[in-house]
Structure 1
Amino acid sequence: MPATFQSLPGLGRDPASIRQRVEHAERLLEGLITIPGLNRKVGLDVLLDALPGIGPVAATALGGWIVWEARNLGLSKWQMARMAGNVGFDLLLSAIPFVGAIPDFFFRSNSRNLRIIKRHLDRHHPGAATIETEVRRA
């Protein structure tokens, strides 16, 4: 029997699948690679700032998708406004050509939005919670 989209991990409409998708998107946007020497992670959100005009718009669209997924979870209008404000402020920061990557390096709107989503899920959908562990390498 062929697998449907609903049966594949992370592709369903249930809170656990949405959480998994949003966590992966946040990791892609904010923690794709680690900068040697600084030991600080950066992702597509900062890297796309190197493309004036289209880069910040693309990063904002990806951040907007996270907000859209949050809307599907039923977050309150206040939470949605905070998340949209985070994405909008990130766009304003990264709209400055070339220099915009510097403040964008410190203001991580997608990580902030992920925290809002996780708080909502932990409160309203405790079955979607995952155990988070930090892996340390020697």
Structure 2
Amino acid sequence: MAALERLAERMDAAFRLPLIGTRIGWDGILGLLPGIGDAAAFGPAGYIIYRAMQMGAPRPVLARMAANAGVDAVVGTVPLIGDLLDIGLKANRRNVRLLRRHFERTGAL
């Protein structure tokens, strides 16, 4: 779980933008590269979902995680506006929180 949290943090909030104070991660930076950036950023998102499946997360949790990653991927394809919205969505952190919350409720953590 800790490794997934570190990955999500790197992808969604690794750096602080100096003038604004907003945190941005590699997902937002890669999203600036037309075409390949969003595809590259989807890899870690898919890995988080894959690990959740291996850890025994139920289908409703996995479906919600897939929806978060899907929205992030689709929104990221819109030039400029999509990149700005992509920075705000932080789907990887959201997905790891969903997974942690599920395991805390079930007592698995």
Given that 1:49 and 1:98 are in contact with CA atoms closer than 8 Å, whether structure 2 keeps it comes out as no
Deviates more, 1:115-124 or 1:27-36: 115-124
Instruction: Look up the SS of the partner of 1:100 in the other structure.
Output: helix
Shift of 1:49: 1.1
Q: What is the aligned-residue identity percentage? A: 31
Cross-structure match for 1:7: none
**Equivalence for 2:98:** 116
Cα separation, 1, equivalents of 2:21 and 2:80: 22
The answer for the alignment partner of 2:36 in structure 1 is 54
**Structure with the higher helix share, 1 or 2:** 2
User: What SS does the corresponding residue of 1:50 show, helix, strand or coil?
Assistant: coil
Counterpart of 2:66, as a letter, is A
Residue identity in the other structure for 2:101: R
Which of 75, 78, 102 is residue 84 of structure 2 equivalent to?
102
> 1:49 touches 1:97 (CA, 8 Å); kept in 2?
no
**What TM-score do the two structures reach when normalised by structure 1?**
0.74
User: In structure 1, what is the equivalent of residue 67 of structure 2?
Assistant: 85
Q: Is residue 48–residue 56 contact of structure 1 (8 Å, CA) maintained in 2?
A: yes
Separation in structure 2 between the aligned mates of residue 37 and residue 54 of structure 1, nearest angstrom: 28
Higher RCO (CA < 8 A, seq sep 6+): 2
TM-score by length of 2: 0.92
Give me the whole-angstrom Cα distance separating, in 2, the residues matched to 1:37 and 1:102. Answer: 15
Unmatched runs of 5 consecutive residues or more in structure 2: none
* Aligned-CA RMSD value: 1.1
Alignment gaps of 5+ in structure 1 = 1-18, 127-138
Q: Write out the 4+ residue segments of structure 1 that deviate beyond 3 Å after TM superposition.
A: none
Establish whether residue 34 from structure 1 lines up as the match of residue 25 from structure 2: no
